[in-house]
Amino acid sequence: MRCWGEVVHPPARALPDAQARSLGALVARRRQLVEMLAAESNRHRQTQARRVRERIAAHLTWLRHELHELERELHDVIRTTPIWRERENLLTSVPGVGDVTAHTLIAELPELGALNRRRIAALIGVAPLNRDSGTFRGRRMIAGGRANVRNVLYMAAVTSIRWNPAVRTQYHRLVAAGRPVKVALVAAMRKLLVILNAILRDGRPWHPA
């Protein structure tokens, strides 16, 4: 069986400059804080020891403050960098795409807008790859790619199914045709990604038409 790189042939990535590395570190740190908040919240609900609950509550307060401060710094970094500010404005013009999605795409998917729709979908792992061997025809599945980008795209697609007419139509058409919800959701993710790719490529904000 061939590996993901042999199938997709992802383009070589230029080494990011110091500013891009700094942005990527901020985005990664935000993701870590969100994960820690979720873990500590679960512990707070599960423990019965009063003193332990108090300590966890204090840590949760600190984590929320740290997350707020980091998000403010992320916003300032994006808004004071002209090219990133322009990309953020274009991305967030699309219904369903908020700051978290836009910042993650700017930091971790710099190829967005520079590749065709097939290659950008394959790059983050929402393009179905075949599992064929000789006369055997396996099920198509998604694999590989940039998991962190795929995760935020998933959340954006869930929101877009409600608020973005293009994504909503695609999703409900597939569900009505009997496709599994998971398959329809991946297709919605791919549709949203294609829209975002085209918007950055053309440099024009979202328009329903």
Q: What is the pLDDT of residues 4-31, one digit of tens each?
A: 455 445 554 554 688 999 999 999 999 9
Radius of gyration of the chain measured on its C-alpha atoms: 20
Q: What is the pTM of this model?
A: 0.83
End-to-end CA separation in angstroms for the chain: 42
* Residue 133 β-bridge partners: 136
List the chain residues with pLDDT less than 70: 1-16, 129-144, 209
Task: Enumerate helices (H) and strands (E) in the chain, giving the number of each.
Answer: 9, 0
* Residue 136 β-bridge partners: 133
At 169, the amino acid letter reads T
Contacts of 159 (CB under 8 A, 6+ apart): 96, 98
- Exposed, middle or buried by CB within 10 Å (0-12, 13-18, 19+), for 107? buried
